[in-house]
Structure 1
């Protein structure tokens, strides 16, 4: 992950250097002698995005205490086997939720009235998925 962080720092500096070159080139060597703002802003914001990614990856690397087993060449497969959470293999609520969200996005593409059919199903699916361990056979 340290390599990725360094690459994003270098990429951000490259974008900003390219942005500066782009602005100077458009001022001095173009026939209109004015800045083309779309490209200048796009390259500048690409540099900002690269710096944000480098900062985030650097903080994540420091927060996890160094290299993770996936980054080491001599690590075993079992070394990188963390606890991923608790999942219900028998639950039908994620399927219903994905159907309802697909219905809502279909409504955004085809007709807004279809979105109003999918919204209550989304609410029911979210509540059902959240409360599935508080009722029925699996109640705690």
Structure 2
């Protein structure tokens, strides 16, 4: 995690320089705002990974003497099949489309977005995939 944290730290520094250069050369507030948000997100990831790396033992990717087989095995749990992300993305797309087209669309799409969030979060708490 320390390697990844350093990578995002370097990317955050690069983006800070790019924000300044972009603003000086273009004076475009929209692009500058987008780069500032990307810088903030990169900084958040850098902080989180660095904070987490101090709390846990170093992994094989953090040690110079590590062997490739040390990183083998389960890396986490990933859902094999799930339709909830599709439901959530379509509902959120319709919700954000309501901002551009008209707020009336948001009133119809927001309940589907909330239902998609609910289903995505509680996917493994009920049904055939229930975890105990």
| TM-score normalised according to structure 1 size | 0.51
Preserved CA contact (<8 Å) 1:69 1:80: no
Query: Unmatched 5+ residue regions in structure 1?
Result: 27-34, 86-93, 134-140
Query: Residue 5 of structure 1 aligns with which residue?
Result: 5
Out of 30, 33, 46, the position equivalent to 1:54 is 46
Query: Structure 1 residues 77, 132: closer, same or farther in 2, change over 3 A?
Result: closer
Query: Residue 106 of structure 2 aligns with which residue?
Result: none
Provide the rounded CA distance (Å) in 1 between the counterparts of 2:49 and 2:16: 20
SS, match of residue 21 in structure 1 = helix
Query: Residue 44 of structure 1 aligns with which residue?
Result: 36
SS, match of residue 74 in structure 1 = coil
Larger Rg: 1
Query: Residue 59 of structure 2 aligns with which residue?
Result: 68
Q: What's the Cα RMSD here?
A: 4.2
Q: How many residues align?
A: 105
Which one has a larger percent helix, Structure 1 or Structure 2?
A: 2
